Structure 1
Amino acid sequence: MSPLRYVKHLRLLAAPRRLLTGDVTAAQVAHAVGYESATQFSRECRAIHGRPPMQDAARLRARLTAHGSA
């Protein structure tokens, strides 16, 4: 994996955690993890996770809630 690809991978791993921890938008998270373009961030999240960032965060939130109530 190239250094650039590795950094991108780390940014995309950090993004869902940031979306889960607060009342933030995908654009705010994009900038927080180092993307200048929220559109590019959304496109790359969709490519990696199979859904837009906010949908991925909602899915993760539901999963955490389900595990917490079990």
Structure 2
Amino acid sequence: MLAIRLPEDIEARLTALAAKTGRTKTFYAREAILSHLDDMEDAYLALNRLENPSKRWTLDDMEQERDLDC
């Protein structure tokens, strides 16, 4: 369950869209979230990694760790 507050102008646009198309506001809110969630996750994870760097592995390091003779 999720409850969100939207600015009045956005709420009005969402209400109008739902009325014109016969879909619910929830449908459009869900669609908007799903269409942008992957990008948001990528952006925040990348930012987090820049702010909190961890050990970096080279290809040679990984090959040696796995005993790969590539």
Q: Quick check: which one's helix share is greater?
A: 1
TM over 0.5: no
TM-score relative to the length of structure 1: 0.30
Indicate the structure (1 or 2) with the bigger Cα radius of gyration: 2
RCO higher in 1 or 2 (8 Å CA, sep ≥ 6)?
Answer: 1
TM-score relative to the length of structure 2: 0.30
